[in-house]
Structure 1
Amino acid sequence: MATDTASRASLDVREMQSVAPEADVQRRKHTLEESMRKTAGNGAVAYYAAQNPAINTAMTHRNIDFVNDGEGGYRDAASIDEVLAYGTARRARVTREIKDGERHAVTVVGHLPMSMCEPDGTTYHPLDTTTGLPKDGKDGRPLVTLPRYRAKDEAEMRRYFSEFIDFQATNILPGGHDAIHGGSINLDESRPHVQLLVDTYEKDPRGKEPDALRNGFSRAFGRHRSDRKVQKVSKTGNPMVAADGSPIMVGEGARRKMERYHCELKSHMIDAGFDIEAERDAVRHDRRLVLPDYQEVQDLRTETAAQAAIVEEAEADLGLVAAGLVEERQALHEKAQALEIDVFGDVVSEVQAHEREVEKDLAARRAEVEQLRKKAESEGYEKGLARGTMRAAVEFEEVEAPSLRATARAEGRAAGEAESAKIREEAQEAAEQARRDERAARVAREEAEKRLAELPEYDPKVAVQEMQAIRHDAAERVRVVAIEKGAYRTDPTTGKAVIEPASAVIDRQAAALWDQRRAGKKGPMPTETVGMRAEKVRGIARGGQKDLAKANASAERSRSQSNDGMGR
């Protein structure tokens, strides 16, 4: 069984790209539920154990989950939410909004060196990332079985992880201790390790915002204008110089920055008294493999070692057979010489024939060995391809898919807001029209009341008396000759006398006098009684009230439509 037993100070970093504030919180929550599964609860323990057989649920209760206490230290975490709240409060102080695609958080993982570990007596079968089934088990071969490890000295383990966390705060994170939200020391997996959830925010005090922050990811893990200068190297790793022989200096950049962090971490741990190998893990660090990929590589190494053992065994058998033939041939030759017989040639022929048969057998077995080797290489390629495909799918779900969902939500929200604005505009216009109608109705009512108020009051008794007096005056003025109860008048056209009733003459004279009387008053003489006038006023008032009620109802409908348009 091939395992990585080198005693190294490991440091693995994984970045989280922003999609949207709410989605970013969920991403941090899922990360914490996996690493702090003890605090997250039994549901989280069962869920992640089903995905990762390295988790020994009987040991999860020994995990150490912690949260930043905000006072320069850490305390035991009571819930996942308080770690999330700490990170959310930090992000709220960032003055420039973090855009989609920018890094908003980082997970940091460090394993306990193998020199500080010992097997705990349990094993597990790693799962194939493509099939989800335990690895190997093909063609009658046994399953891949890996051991779990525990700390030899728990006190030294705690001291190691404390130094590891302090190193992040002092040497890497721009925000120092405050940038560490929380984490967990996992003791229930294949090997003790610490997982930290951190941010890269740094202080950016300004005016009325002394606690303001800004994102310093590029300063910590990317390329930044403040990077220290280092000599440029070629693709083959050779230092580069200018034409005059002077070194070509460039900014450190992300890759060499991480290399420096690894070297500084090793030096820090060695100075702290830990048994750490000074060299770095080229396979893991040069290729920048994150923890799951590295574990996959180790499992593939184990499988490859098993297949290599079969090949070596077959080659060893071939070697033993060949050696036996050489010894047998030499013995026969010596025996023939000792007997001094002429049959040596025959013996040699027999030996040579036997050798040819053995050579054919050796060729067949060599072909079998070559086939085994090619099969191992092919399976390794297929596994690598499958692993890469799986990694691409995971990265799509973690990076691109949330962005696409956020874009769809934003477009839907924009369309809804545009439609809502249109409805509000139409409702506001309807409300304004209702208010105009209400004002017009009020003006009409006031004008009617004003006109009614200008009409003179009318008393029927007085009017009758005046009419009778006028008729009497008219009758007194008429001087006619009584002819069969009639009277005559001169036709103004013919000049002849026209006989007509005296009452008609009196009426005509009364009408003229009535017109004279009316001309002497302001405005027309009343032609209706007090009761008729009162009834008319009440009718106009009732009509105004109906118009007002209609205008109010229209305004209320407009306000209701406006509220509906605003999503109420």
Structure 2
Amino acid sequence: MDTVIGRTGFHAQHTKNVGERGAIVHEMMRELDEDSIAYWATRNPNIVIADEVLNEAMVNDGAGGFRACADRQEVLDYGADRVRRVKRKFRDDKLDPKTGKMKGGTVTTSLLVSHLPKSMCIEIPGYYPVLDKKTGEPVVDADGDPMMRSRWVARDRDDARHYFQEVVQYLTDEAIPGGTEAVLGYDIQHSESTPHVQILADTFAEDPKDEDALRVESSRAWFSHRDVKDDKGKQKSGPTKLREYHAGLKQHLLDLGYDISADFDEARHLVGMGKDEYGQTMDAKRHVDTLKDRAVEDHEKLNEWDTSLLDLRDQLADRAEHLDERQRNLEARESELPTLRRHVEEMGREDGVKAAAAANDKIVKQRIAATLAPAWSAVDRQRKELEGLLAQAAQDRENYLIAATQLEQYNRTLQPLVEKWERANPHTERGAKAQRSATLIRQIEQRAAELRENTPTDDVEFGD
């Protein structure tokens, strides 16, 4: 079994419309009423309704901490009070004539999502069917069997709660511009494919010019801002800040002794990939892994067929050598016939009797027939046996070529992924694993080519 690697990180999404908070909280804290659970369960196949009772909704208590939330409106009311303290009016989106997109509006709200590391989970294999993104129907593998994926549940829910509280604390201290006061609420969820926490925060911080007011600090925290620069005096970009937040969160949790990898998944957390997109990516990866496993199985079958064909070829060679020996014996006996005829003629001349010569000729023919008949019968029998073996070899060769063609098709399907694996950084654990997979596929391709070159031909012919 492969060692489970624990990874930490978070995904950030931002919105400009304060009105979208209602929909966010409705999904985030759906466990607060049965209607919401039913509504979202029909839209998210990962939701396990029976486990909704395990989720924990928390709202800002306004005193520097959080308390259990009984009504989603508490979260929205707390956020509305902070909106009223923002003195400067929010900017509206404007159409960019160059790109044709709306831009320039004020970002007011952030949703941060962080999953529990796999090292703190227990895997339940084959829990969910893999569903087609477009049709919603189960996806099947090359054998027609439904593809399944695992569910991960917290090994210890108390430990999971403490972990998520540390994540919330770090993000409020280092990433969210208004600190704890800017976090409207958060929800720890155990009812989906992986335990995770969703944090709803605004982008407002205290206005240094007015202690009773707030100002928007989204650019300072998440995007480029003229006052936020690196050690060289260069203005930091949004991706640079994200990398720093991720690195800081990782180090914070490592210092606390959590069993997590020293790396974080940049491919997931820094390119805007949310939990839905990540799930779809993992489904696609599982499909590719299935194809790779099938290719390995076919490779093993080809090796078995290759061995069988080589054995059959050796048997044919032995039979051919045996027939050659029989042929040489017949030719040797035929070479004795002139000597036998001369001997008969000499006997006829010595006796001077034509009848005797005719009788002797008949005797010669009888002796020839008696000598050659068993040999020719044996040759004919051996020829029929060999023709049967050749027919079987031709059928095996056809099966072999069909399998080789299927293997080549699998290899072409895997080609883009193999090329990506070959470009992976071999100095990382993920990159090394990717390159080992690529090497395996290349070995399979080479072996398939060698087997095709060594395929026995069906051009064996026999004379009369």
Decide whether the 8 Å contact of 1:54 with 1:126 is kept in 2: no
> Equivalent residue for 1:88?
80
Decide whether the 8 Å contact of 1:180 with 1:196 is kept in 2: yes
- String of CA shifts for 1:417-453, please: whole Å, max 9, x gaps: xxxxxxxxxxxxxxxxxxxxxxxxxxxxxxxxxxxxx
Report whether the alignment pairs 1:299 with 2:299: no
- In 2: Cα distance, 1:216 partner to 1:121 partner: 44
Decide whether the 8 Å contact of 1:227 with 1:251 is kept in 2: yes
> Equivalent residue for 1:164?
167
> Equivalent residue for 2:400?
362
Bigger drift between 63-72 and 355-364 goes to: 355-364
> Equivalent residue for 1:236?
none
Where in structure 2 are the equivalents of 1:42-121 lying within 5 Å?
42-100=34-92, 101-119=105-123
Any idea what SS the aligned residue of 1:106 has?
strand
Decide whether the 8 Å contact of 2:107 with 2:218 is kept in 1: yes
Selected match of 1:272 from 235, 253, 256? 256
Bigger drift between 88-97 and 58-67 goes to: 88-97
> Equivalent residue for 2:336?
none
Any idea what SS the aligned residue of 1:229 has?
coil
- String of CA shifts for 1:500-544, please: whole Å, max 9, x gaps: xxxxxxxxxxxxxxxxxxxxxxxxxxxxxxxxxxxxxxxxxxxxx
- In 2: Cα distance, 1:336 partner to 1:252 partner: 80
Question: Cα distance 1:64–1:331, how it changes in 2: closer, same or farther (>3 A)?
Answer: same
Offset of residue 150 of structure 1: 1.5
Alignment size in residue pairs? 350
Unaligned runs of 5+ in 1: 19-23, 232-248, 379-568
Offset of residue 352 of structure 1: 8.3
Offset of residue 72 of structure 1: 1.1
- String of CA shifts for 1:451-487, please: whole Å, max 9, x gaps: xxxxxxxxxxxxxxxxxxxxxxxxxxxxxxxxxxxxx
Bigger drift between 109-118 and 351-360 goes to: 351-360
Bigger drift between 331-340 and 252-261 goes to: 331-340
- In 1: Cα distance, 2:320 partner to 2:132 partner: 61
- In 2: Cα distance, 1:34 partner to 1:271 partner: 33
Selected match of 1:200 from 189, 198, 203? 203
- String of CA shifts for 1:195-237, please: whole Å, max 9, x gaps: 010112111133xx42211111111110112333268xxxxxx
Offset of residue 331 of structure 1: 5.8
Any idea what SS the aligned residue of 2:245 has?
helix
Decide whether the 8 Å contact of 1:53 with 1:125 is kept in 2: no
> Equivalent residue for 1:32?
25
> Equivalent residue for 2:236?
252
Name the aligned partner's letter for residue 158 of structure 2.
Answer: A
Question: Cα distance 1:359–1:32, how it changes in 2: closer, same or farther (>3 A)?
Answer: same
Name the aligned partner's letter for residue 157 of structure 1.
Answer: A
Decide whether the 8 Å contact of 1:120 with 1:149 is kept in 2: yes
Decide whether the 8 Å contact of 1:15 with 1:103 is kept in 2: yes
Bigger drift between 333-342 and 192-201 goes to: 333-342
Any idea what SS the aligned residue of 2:244 has?
helix
State the TM-score, normalized to the length of structure 2.
Answer: 0.67
Report whether the alignment pairs 1:6 with 2:5: yes
Any idea what SS the aligned residue of 2:45 has?
coil
Where in structure 2 are the equivalents of 1:225-264 lying within 5 Å?
225-229=226-230, 250-264=234-248
- In 2: Cα distance, 1:307 partner to 1:261 partner: 37
Decide whether the 8 Å contact of 1:205 with 1:211 is kept in 2: no
> Equivalent residue for 2:299?
315
> Equivalent residue for 2:361?
none
Name the aligned partner's letter for residue 367 of structure 1.
Answer: T
Bigger drift between 69-78 and 256-265 goes to: 256-265
Report whether the alignment pairs 1:147 with 2:150: yes
- In 2: Cα distance, 1:122 partner to 1:348 partner: 51
- In 2: Cα distance, 1:3 partner to 1:47 partner: 37
Decide whether the 8 Å contact of 1:17 with 1:104 is kept in 2: yes
- The percent of aligned pairs where both chains have the same amino acid is 29
Question: Cα distance 1:282–1:319, how it changes in 2: closer, same or farther (>3 A)?
Answer: farther
Name the aligned partner's letter for residue 260 of structure 2.
Answer: I
Decide whether the 8 Å contact of 1:55 with 1:189 is kept in 2: yes
Offset of residue 138 of structure 1: 7.9
Over the aligned positions, Cα root-mean-square deviation in angstroms equals: 3.4
Question: Cα distance 1:362–1:154, how it changes in 2: closer, same or farther (>3 A)?
Answer: same
Question: Cα distance 1:330–1:171, how it changes in 2: closer, same or farther (>3 A)?
Answer: farther
Any idea what SS the aligned residue of 1:15 has?
strand
Offset of residue 350 of structure 1: 9.2
- In 2: Cα distance, 1:367 partner to 1:339 partner: 36
Offset of residue 338 of structure 1: 9.9
> Equivalent residue for 1:538?
none
Where in structure 2 are the equivalents of 1:96-495 lying within 5 Å?
96-100=88-92, 101-119=105-123, 123-131=127-135, 133-137=136-140, 141-206=144-209, 209-229=210-230, 250-330=234-314, 341=325, 358-371=396-409
Name the aligned partner's letter for residue 6 of structure 1.
Answer: I
- In 2: Cα distance, 1:120 partner to 1:106 partner: 32
Larger Rg: 1
Question: Cα distance 1:178–1:356, how it changes in 2: closer, same or farther (>3 A)?
Answer: same
- String of CA shifts for 1:221-272, please: whole Å, max 9, x gaps: 10112333268xxxxxxxxxxxxxxxxx733311122122111111111111
Offset of residue 279 of structure 1: 1.6
Any idea what SS the aligned residue of 1:51 has?
coil
- In 1: Cα distance, 2:28 partner to 2:288 partner: 30
- In 2: Cα distance, 1:221 partner to 1:169 partner: 13
Question: Cα distance 1:335–1:268, how it changes in 2: closer, same or farther (>3 A)?
Answer: farther
Any idea what SS the aligned residue of 2:67 has?
strand
- In 1: Cα distance, 2:21 partner to 2:131 partner: 25
Bigger drift between 365-374 and 94-103 goes to: 365-374
Where in structure 2 are the equivalents of 1:487-506 lying within 5 Å?
none
Any idea what SS the aligned residue of 1:148 has?
strand
Offset of residue 160 of structure 1: 0.6
State the TM-score, normalized to the length of structure 1.
Answer: 0.56
Unaligned runs of 5+ in 2: 93-104, 329-382, 417-464
Offset of residue 351 of structure 1: 8.0
Decide whether the 8 Å contact of 1:67 with 1:76 is kept in 2: yes
> Equivalent residue for 1:516?
none
